[in-house]
C-alpha cells in the first residue's frame, strides 16, 4: 500500500508527500525527522490522504497535488473525510 498525504504544519503551511507507512511518516515529521521543510514547522496534522496499489500512481498523484494552487489545495483538504 502506498500513500499520498498532506499535512498542515504549525505555521499553517501545507506539505505534500509520499510514503508506504503513513503513521511512521507522520510521527517522524512531528519528531523533527521528517522532511527538512517540516522540521521547523512542527507539529503537523494530517489533513488529506489517498491510498494507491502501486508506487508509480502514488507518485503521479503527489506531483499533481504539488502543482495545485493554495486555494485548490484548501478545497481538496475540505473534501477529505476522515474514516
What is the CATH classification number for the domain harbouring 37?
3.40.1440.10
In contact, 4 and 16? CB cutoff 8 Å: yes
pTM of the full predicted structure? Answer: 0.88
Domain range for 63 is 2-79
Please count the structural domains in the chain.
1
Q: Which of 31, 36, 38, 50 is nearest to 13 (CA)?
A: 38
pLDDT at 82: 63
Residues 6+ apart with CB under 8 A from 9: 15, 38, 41, 42, 43, 44
The mean pLDDT value for 54-77 works out to 96
Helix (H, G, I), strand (E, B) or coil at 63: helix
In this structure, what DSSP letter does residue 69 have?
-
Query: Across the chain, what does the average pLDDT equal?
Result: 92
Q: Where are the beta strands (DSSP E) in the chain?
A: 2-9, 14-19, 44-52
Amino acid at each position: 500500500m502506498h500513500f499520498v498525504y498532506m499535512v498542515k504544519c504549525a505555521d499553517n503551511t501545507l506539505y505534500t508527500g509520499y510514503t508506504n507507512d503513513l503513521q511512521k511518516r507522520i510521527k517522524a515529521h512531528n519528531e523533527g525527522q521528517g522532511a527538512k521543510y517540516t522540521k521547523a514547522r512542527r507539529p503537523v496534522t494530517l489533513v488529506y490522504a489517498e491510498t494507491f496499489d502501486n508506487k508509480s500512481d502514488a507518485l503521479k498523484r503527489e506531483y499533481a497535488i504539488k502543482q495545485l494552487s493554495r486555494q485548490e489545495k484548501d478545497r481538496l483538504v475540505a473534501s477529505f473525510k476522515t474514516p
